[in-house]
Structure 1
Amino acid sequence: MTADYDLLIIGGGINGTGIARDAVGRGASVMLVEMGDLAGATSSASTKLIHGGLRYLEYYELGLVRKALKEREVLWRALPHIARPLRFILPHHKDLRPAWVLRLGLFFYDHLGGRELLPATKTVRLDSGAYSRGLKPLFKKGFEYSDCWVDDARLVVLNALDATDRGAKVLTRTKCIAARREGGLWKVVLQDLGSGEEKTVSARVLVNAAGPWVAEMLHGIAGTRSKAKVRLVKGSHIIVPSRFDHDRCFIFQNGDGRIVFAIPYEQDFTLIGTTDVDYHGDLGTVRTSGEEIDYLCKAASEYLDTPVTPEDVVHTYSGVRPLYDDGAKDAKAATRDYVLELEGGQTEPPVLSVFGGKITTYRKLAEEALKKLEPYLPFKRGVWTAYAPLPGGNFKVDGFDAEVARLEKDFPFLDTSFATRLIRLYGTDARLFLGEAASLEDLGRLFGSNLYELELKWLIDREWARTADDVLWRRTKLGLVLSAAEAGELDSFMSTYLAERTGAAA
């Protein structure tokens, strides 16, 4: 029996889109379905770092840390538009870990991952100079080390775009409501959540990358016998007006053994996170609790000379991590490494379920997933993603400023702030939707803060955006600066445009 697709992937987060991109690039026919928006759950709720996970060294997860550290520069080279290097300052707190322990940990952090481009750790004074501003005077010394920033939601969208450009079929707002083995294939029933229409497609292999819903999906797939358990851990973040006048990030130690980051965010803000709380609530309504806000405010205020209060918080976001349940007593100690469980494959079509994982290691996860599935899929090439840029990332790793300057030169009506935002989001692809525009008027209607109609239509037509939230909080972060009225106008325009587009297609 001939299948509609070689591989059907359930879940449009970073793991699902990463696997889709890798698989279609190897020659497999691929469909990916996501019941909401791409990156609509956990994958847009990270701390937005490509990092090794310094604190995981304390739990002896050397393999995970090494794997993640090696990926930092691989990813940075592939996506120099949405990723950039950061320098983190770890203040020495005399009542917590000794300075020699911190320095030893950072020595391993520097040398485990084959660092080439990122600068090494150094000791810095915190009682004088630029880094002292904002910190309490009792912190005299700290250690400065390297990691990278990434726009997590855009990373997901760009993987989906590349997969589509290579031939994959990506469907959002589409739910898998049933899957069964029949005639040596998977028969999967899909429902369009907008129209309610259902259709059945067949696939040789099924991948369950449903994130927090991985166990629910696994139990709903007919005939599976998995005993794997998922541990749902909520991580929350708060955003406050900027606390620093420099570009360094801080990593603060807490008395409970956790760490909290304070990171410059979207020019005018500071991002503070994260928490680790076991979660047992509704996965569709994940929210930051008052207790988490208080915890993050208190943790940051331990170090900052001006306390952070709940009244300072301008926005919060939360995500639930689907960790593999390894029996750890505390949420903060549960493994962050991924687990890939393969069922079937000998006498029945296989299903691969993905537990855990980090933004940083998504590409390696995809490679390992496809290695497990290789016997069942018609691959025409081997591993390939390590040196292939994502859409818009086809420029030198240190060439971001040059790309901004070129865009300003070619489109002189763009100021530096506008051009920087476009390159940061779209890289060289910004030129594709700017096209022949010769003035701001050519960009169409302005919705606020340099968001024009031309860009918005690109997000709808090319990037699966369907609601104002898709645009303001995942494709961009303009939700921080647009007013409620502007967001309402944006949503109204999108509804009308989508209705017209649907009518024209019919």
Structure 2
Amino acid sequence: MTSSFDLLIIGGGINGTAIARDAAGRGLSVVLCERDDLASHTSSASTKLIHGGLRYLEYFEFGLVRKALQEREVLLRSAPHVIWPLRFILPYDKGLRPAWLLRLGLFIYDHLGGRKILPATTTVNLQSGPFKGQLRSRLTKGFEYSDCWVEDARLVTLNAVDAHERGARIRTQTTVKTIKAMHDGYEAEVYENEKSSTIHAKAVVNAAGPWVEDILQKMKPGKSTAELRLVKGSHIVTKKLFDGDHCYIFQNSDDRIIFAIPYESDYTLIGTTDNPYEPSDRVVEISEEEKIYLCESASEYFRKPVTPLEIVWTYSGVRPLFDDKNSDASAVTRDYVLKIDEFSENAPFLSIYGGKITTSRKLAEHVLEKLSSYLKTKSEPWTRDAILPGGDIKDADFDEFYEGLKIKYSAIDFTILKHLGRAYGTRAEKLLENCCGNLGQRFGPVLTEAEANYLVEYEWAKAADDVLWRRTKSGLHMTPSEQFDFKKWFEKTHRPNSPTTLDEI
């Protein structure tokens, strides 16, 4: 059986889903194939920021920073339930970058992208107010500036949901086994649930992230892989290290920076590292050296030292960067590069190197622009002013929206209600209406049977971990016993013909 589409997208991370959304919205027939789950690799392993990348100014990446800063407020308006403003504290530490240089950099950061919503930089006293007692006594002065938080895996899913509702077909757990050029496009053999099918497409977008060159090898064995640079970034999560909604950005003596960010109410997220990664390493996980590095770097600033014993969770991801031949992994460009091959006459095979969550919408626009001479679309660029599913919150005011939810659904635990509001925005009401207000069994503090059923029906959740660690972060708040109970329930409820497999618990 062969299905025909205008566009085949390989990869269900932020780039792939953003392109699927944009393309479907322009009237193209689109199919997206993801080998695993949506956002199951790099796109759920970020520092979870929508930001310009302050440190990239030192590498004179002004174009990248400007592009990212312009996108901050575009994305903030489109999804105020999963993206919201943060204030970052950058301490001045004598012996590192001078205060005047920090202030100059932040002045440029404030003005480079046409900021309209987010507040400007201010100077703060680190020994008073909400910062008092948090940092070492030598740190008395700092600068406070704006960026945004994002629930990264949820942003990926929202793009996929919007793409689907505009006509795209989203196929997870679907592996592209072979792909070959035809006289009128490309033909891919794909496997889903051990069943083979064929996809014919006029064009292909290779958004496979760290596996972008592997997909190219399927198309043209022996093609050079010299353009890909893999860099591993790892994060640690500890119990909450400080009170307040503010975040910290710390300079290291090795010229790198790390962030310390309030996370999931009860925790602090610290990251990231930048280490070369070789495919032969196979497992993508934090090393003991990285744990020590992040703990020691944070301890240089926090009054109370951070030790590996305080780590409650870690995650790591591999960034598929374009190799600009820089010897320092931290300095390799984070901008994206789009490469087109014509393996079939007048049929594009576009591969994506690099990119950031912040610039994913803009990247999708550029991809459609590159493909415009091959595929005739029915409309012009449209995503800049569009709202993502659940983001149609009045005046993008989440707090006011949540107060309305509390009034309307006063019988529901407000902790659960806020979780649903943050995860689904206005579509939380759809979830609540589907279950008639009966959320069913509760797993841990906020995860319920009704939410898990919704994720299976509307958001391609096919395994318990899809729910626990990507669609939500409920796994972080649950005991091993609670996770076991949920996995057992999930296997029984949503995979009735499959044996229960709980070996990983």
Q: Shift of the alpha carbon at 1:483?
A: 1.3
Q: Shift of the alpha carbon at 1:414?
A: 2.1
Using a 3 Å threshold, how does the CA distance of structure 1 residues 350 and 443 change in structure 2: closer, same or farther?
same
**Aligned partners of 1:46 and 1:203: how far apart in 2?**
31
SS in 1 for 2:394: coil
Amino acid at match of 1:450: V
**Aligned partners of 1:159 and 1:373: how far apart in 2?**
20
1:81 is aligned to 81
Partner residue of 1:250 out of 248, 251, 257: 248
1:354 is aligned to 352
2:415 is aligned to 417
TM-score normalised per structure 2: 0.96
Aligned 1:227-242 pairs, distance under 5 A: 229-242=227-240
Aligned 1:132-147 pairs, distance under 5 A: 132-147=132-147
Amino acid at match of 1:341: K
1:467 is aligned to 463
**Aligned partners of 1:89 and 1:30: how far apart in 2?**
43
1:487 is aligned to 483
Q: Shift of the alpha carbon at 1:37?
A: 0.5
Partner residue of 2:273 out of 252, 256, 275: 275
Using a 3 Å threshold, how does the CA distance of structure 1 residues 274 and 79 change in structure 2: closer, same or farther?
same
1:76 and 1:397 in contact (8 A); partners too:
no
Q: Shift of the alpha carbon at 1:398?
A: 4.1
2:183 and 2:344 in contact (8 A); partners too:
no
Aligned 1:307-386 pairs, distance under 5 A: 307-344=305-342, 347-386=345-384
Aligned 1:34-45 pairs, distance under 5 A: 34-45=34-45
Amino acid at match of 1:151: E
Matched, 1:61 2:65: no
2:441 is aligned to 445
Amino acid at match of 1:298: E
Amino acid at match of 1:57: L
Provide Cα deviations, 1:105-127, integer angstroms capped at 9, x if missing partner: 00000000000000000000012
SS in 2 for 1:270: strand
Matched, 1:163 2:159: no
**Aligned partners of 1:201 and 1:96: how far apart in 2?**
55
2:236 and 2:313 in contact (8 A); partners too:
yes
Provide Cα deviations, 1:403-458, integer angstroms capped at 9, x if missing partner: 1111111111123322211111000001001007565xx21111221211111100
Aligned 1:281-292 pairs, distance under 5 A: 281-282=279-280, 285-292=283-290
Provide Cα deviations, 1:362-391, integer angstroms capped at 9, x if missing partner: 000000011000111130001000111110
| Number of equivalenced pairs | 497
1:37 and 1:172 in contact (8 A); partners too:
yes
Q: Shift of the alpha carbon at 1:222?
A: 3.7
**Aligned partners of 1:411 and 1:226: how far apart in 2?**
58
2:9 is aligned to 9
2:416 and 2:447 in contact (8 A); partners too:
no
1:198 is aligned to 196
Aligned 1:76-225 pairs, distance under 5 A: 76-192=76-192, 195-222=193-220
1:466 and 1:494 in contact (8 A); partners too:
no
2:186 and 2:344 in contact (8 A); partners too:
no
1:411 and 1:438 in contact (8 A); partners too:
no
Using a 3 Å threshold, how does the CA distance of structure 1 residues 176 and 414 change in structure 2: closer, same or farther?
same
Q: Shift of the alpha carbon at 1:21?
A: 0.3
2:419 and 2:446 in contact (8 A); partners too:
no
Amino acid at match of 1:103: R
Greater mean deviation of Cα atoms: 215-224 or 253-262: 215-224
Aligned 1:21-40 pairs, distance under 5 A: 21-40=21-40
TM-score normalised per structure 1: 0.95
Amino acid at match of 2:243: D
SS in 2 for 1:341: strand
**Aligned partners of 1:283 and 1:187: how far apart in 2?**
32
Amino acid at match of 1:467: A
Greater mean deviation of Cα atoms: 72-81 or 477-486: 477-486
SS in 2 for 1:213: helix
2:9 and 2:205 in contact (8 A); partners too:
yes
Q: Shift of the alpha carbon at 1:283?
A: 7.2
**Aligned partners of 1:114 and 1:487: how far apart in 2?**
45
Q: Shift of the alpha carbon at 1:496?
A: 2.1
1:388 is aligned to 386
2:337 and 2:354 in contact (8 A); partners too:
yes
Greater mean deviation of Cα atoms: 124-133 or 161-170: 124-133
SS in 1 for 2:15: helix
Using a 3 Å threshold, how does the CA distance of structure 1 residues 228 and 352 change in structure 2: closer, same or farther?
farther
2:3 and 2:198 in contact (8 A); partners too:
no
2:81 and 2:423 in contact (8 A); partners too:
yes
1:224 and 1:343 in contact (8 A); partners too:
no
Q: Shift of the alpha carbon at 1:181?
A: 0.6
Instruction: Give the root-mean-square deviation of aligned CA atoms.
Output: 1.7
2:502 is aligned to none
Using a 3 Å threshold, how does the CA distance of structure 1 residues 185 and 405 change in structure 2: closer, same or farther?
same
Amino acid at match of 1:158: L
Q: Shift of the alpha carbon at 1:228?
A: 5.1
**Aligned partners of 1:283 and 1:79: how far apart in 2?**
36
Partner residue of 1:266 out of 255, 261, 264: 264
**Aligned partners of 2:490 and 2:416: how far apart in 1?**
22
**Aligned partners of 2:348 and 2:134: how far apart in 1?**
55
**Aligned partners of 1:249 and 1:221: how far apart in 2?**
45
**Aligned partners of 1:485 and 1:125: how far apart in 2?**
45
**Aligned partners of 1:208 and 1:43: how far apart in 2?**
15
Using a 3 Å threshold, how does the CA distance of structure 1 residues 283 and 474 change in structure 2: closer, same or farther?
farther
**Aligned partners of 1:170 and 1:283: how far apart in 2?**
30
Greater mean deviation of Cα atoms: 131-140 or 14-23: 131-140
Provide Cα deviations, 1:233-253, integer angstroms capped at 9, x if missing partner: 000000001111111100000
Q: Shift of the alpha carbon at 1:345?
A: 7.7
Q: Shift of the alpha carbon at 1:499?
A: 3.0
**Aligned partners of 1:415 and 1:232: how far apart in 2?**
44
